[in-house]
């Protein structure tokens, strides 16, 4: 690669950023003295640390790379189908978070095992969560790789390896202590700097009204809530349901809720985080429209929507502004990367390894958590070198799969404690399989098929189970 293709300003900012993150990881390592410290911050996560960790985890490569590129092409309909569901998910989770805290469990799989009275539900749920987090991790690496490659000139595969190794290293060092403190820094940096970049773009293009007019001139469907037939009402409902549910069944969300000091802290961080996320979601949509208008005016086009925003940075923003935006974007993307790596390690060690090795020591569980973080992190890097789809496509697949599998059986079981455990497990398995099968077969929205199947199986198996002896009666 010719040296003249490398942008020294952007590359220097990126390297300094990674070094700073590693220093935080090294410091956090000194604070992670037990399994509880590594997994759930010693159950001592405070209000503002939890709030910014939630915000930073929420905005990922999907928001700043995938959503900007996708919304720039399909318009504001994406906000109706995706952002609305995500924000509603946080609002809904606020009202049930106390129920999650009352169970006093570490992971989502622990909750399922408690509700079903079946320990084998832990590894089954753990596999679903592990696959979901792993797909999400691949998305972060793809998004960050595209971003840094476009702005620095360094080949994509090198960037993916560099980013992946650094984030595996500092997550392994400090666990949730590393994740929470870096999220605080990255979250505030992300909101401030991306907001600044959006303000610059709006000012330069003549205001939000001018952007809307130019966006509509490109295609009138861009400013319509359903995209002029792009989304049918059924498809919108399915999409909202998928992204709404993805909040409820996120392992990272459950870990963070259980890491907070008390219920008051839990409620505060969800409420305040929800407000920040709602405002920032609007900023992202404005940024998407501005990106589309700017590239159109400049006569620039890309074949992959994931490259649209990185191209805007290199071709439109002055170098100083571009560097500032990059730091904000890296904060958004990589703050989610560490949360996913941490969730993968905890899920494997607690929900899968511990089930097959029930008498293992805390030290060995901690060791397996770190080992799983490394192994699955490197596997994600290898897949990211040649990704199977765009960032947004991967995110959509992950959301519909995990929502179909876990949303209905787990949360119905949370409020209806007399529900058959066998019915919950059967609903998890069939809901996930039905949604994935519909993705490949085509036809109806996969989330509606998956959730509908989960409901039918939940009810059907529960009714059948009522006619059979209970587990407690059999044991007696």
What is the Cα 261 distance to its own chain's centre?
Answer: 23
According to the 3-state scheme, what is the secondary structure of the chain?
A: CCHHHCCHHHHHHHHHHHHHHHHHHHHHHCCCCCHHHHHHHHHCECHHHHHHHHHHHHCCHHHHHHHHHHHHHHCCHHHHHHHHHHHHHHHHHHHHHHHHHHHCCCCHHHHHHHHHCCCCHHHHHHHHHHHHHHHHHHHHHHHHHHHHHHHHCCCHHHHHHHHHHHHHHHHHHHHHHHHHHHHHHHHHHHHHHHHHHHHHHHHHHCCHHHHHHHHHHHCHHHHCCCCCCCCCHHHHHHHHHHHHHHHHCCHHHHHHHHHECCHHHHHHHHHHHHHHHHHHHHHHHHHHHHHHHHHHHCCCCCCCHHHHHHHHHHHCCCHHHHHHHHHHHHHHHHHHHHHHHHHHHHHHHHHHHHHHCCCCCHHHHHHHHHHHHHHHHHHHHHHHHCCCCCHHHHHHHHHHHHHHHHHHHHHHHHHCCCCCHHHHHHHHHHHHHHHHHHHHHCCCCHHHHHHHHHHHHHHHHHHHHHCCCCHHHHHC
Q: Is residue 421 part of a domain?
A: no
Report the pLDDT value the prediction gives residue 66, as an integer from 0 to 100.
Answer: 72
Report the pLDDT value the prediction gives residue 389, as an integer from 0 to 100.
Answer: 65
Report the pLDDT value the prediction gives residue 371, as an integer from 0 to 100.
Answer: 93
Q: Is residue 85 part of a domain?
A: yes
Q: Is residue 472 part of a domain?
A: no
Burial 287-309 (b: 16+ CB within 10 A, else e): bbbbbbbbbeeeeeeeeebbbbb
Q: What is the pLDDT of residues 278-320, one digit of tens each?
A: 888 888 888 888 988 998 888 888 777 877 887 888 788 887 7
pTM value is 0.79
Report the pLDDT value the prediction gives residue 5, as an integer from 0 to 100.
Answer: 63
Report the pLDDT value the prediction gives residue 474, as an integer from 0 to 100.
Answer: 46
Report the pLDDT value the prediction gives residue 476, as an integer from 0 to 100.
Answer: 40
Which neighbouring-strand residues pair with 260? Answer: 45
- pLDDT averaged over every residue in the chain: 83
Q: Is residue 181 part of a domain?
A: yes
Residue numbers in the chain where pLDDT is lower than 70:
1-6, 60-63, 229-231, 331-333, 335, 389-391, 468-476
Range of the domain at 163: 3-391
Q: How far apart are CA 227 and CA 76, in angstroms?
A: 7
Which neighbouring-strand residues pair with 45? Answer: 260
Q: How many domains does the chain have?
A: 1
CA distance to 7, 148, 336, per residue, from 41 (Å): 39, 31, 17
Q: What is the pLDDT of residues 422-438, one digit of tens each?
A: 999 999 999 999 999 99
Q: Is residue 29 part of a domain?
A: yes
Q: Do 32 and 174 touch, CB atoms closer than 8 A?
A: yes
Q: Is residue 439 part of a domain?
A: no
Q: Is residue 12 part of a domain?
A: yes
Q: Is residue 432 part of a domain?
A: no
Q: For the domain that residue 62 is a member of, what is the CATH number?
A: 1.20.1730.10
| Residue 320 CB coordination number (10 Å) | 9
Q: How far apart are CA 126 and CA 432, in angstroms?
A: 13
Q: What is the pLDDT of residues 338-353, one digit of tens each?
A: 778 888 999 999 999 9
């Amino acid at each position: 690669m010719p040296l003249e293709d490398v942008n020294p300003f952007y590359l220097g900012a990126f390297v300094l950023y990674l070094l700073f993150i590693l220093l935080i990881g090294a410091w956090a390592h000194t604070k992670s003295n037990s399994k509880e410290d590594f997994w759930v911050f010693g159950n001592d996560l405070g209000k503002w640390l939890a709030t910014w960790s939630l915000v930073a985890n929420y905005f990922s490569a999907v928001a700043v790379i995938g959503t900007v590129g996708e919304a720039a092409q399909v318009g504001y309909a994406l906000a109706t189908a995706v952002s609305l569901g995500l924000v509603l998910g946080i609002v809904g989770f606020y009202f049930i978070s106390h129920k999650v805290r009352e169970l006093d469990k570490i992971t989502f799989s622990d909750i399922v095992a408690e509700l079903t009275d079946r320990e084998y539900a832990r590894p089954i749920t753990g596999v679903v969560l592990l696959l979901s987090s792993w797909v999400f991790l691949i998305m972060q690496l793809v998004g960050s790789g595209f971003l840094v490659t476009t702005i620095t000139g360094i080949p994509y595969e090198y960037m993916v390896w560099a980013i992946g190794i650094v984030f595996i290293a500092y997550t392994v060092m400090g666990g949730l202590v590393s994740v929470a403190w870096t999220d605080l820094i990255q979250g505030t940096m992300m909101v401030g700097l991306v907001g600044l970049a959006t303000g610059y773009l709006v000012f330069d293009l003549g205001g939000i009204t001018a952007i809307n007019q130019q966006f509509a001139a490109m295609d009138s469907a861009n400013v319509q809530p359903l995209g002029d037939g792009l989304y049918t009402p059924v498809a919108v409902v399915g999409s909202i349901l998928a992204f709404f549910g993805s909040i409820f069944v996120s392992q990272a969300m459950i870990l963070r809720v259980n890491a907070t000091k008390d219920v008051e802290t839990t409620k505060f961080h969800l409420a305040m985080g929800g407000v920040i996320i709602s405002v920032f979601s609007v900023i992202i949509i404005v940024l998407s429209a501005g990106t589309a208008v700017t590239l159109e005016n400049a006569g620039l086009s890309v074949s992959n929507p994931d490259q649209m925003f990185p191209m805007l940075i290199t071709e439109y923003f002055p170098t100083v502004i571009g560097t500032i935006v990059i730091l904000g974007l890296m904060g958004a993307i990589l703050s989610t990367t560490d949360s996913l790596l941490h969730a993968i390690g905890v899920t494997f060690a607690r929900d899968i390894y511990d089930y097959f090795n029930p008498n293992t020591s805390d030290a060995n569980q901690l060791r397996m958590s770190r080992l799983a973080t490394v192994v699955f992190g490197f596997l994600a890097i290898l897949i990211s070198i040649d990704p199977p789809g765009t960032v947004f496509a991967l995110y959509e697949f992950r959301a519909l799969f995990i929502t179909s599998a876990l949303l209905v059986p787990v949360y119905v079981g949370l409020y209806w404690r007399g529900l058959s455990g066998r019915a919950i497990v059967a609903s998890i398995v069939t809901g996930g399989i039905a949604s994935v099968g519909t993705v490949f077969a085509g036809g109806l929205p996969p989330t509606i098929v998956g959730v509908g199947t989960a409901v039918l199986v939940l009810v059907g198996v529960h009714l059948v189970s009522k006619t059979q002896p209970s587990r407690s009666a059999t044991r007696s």
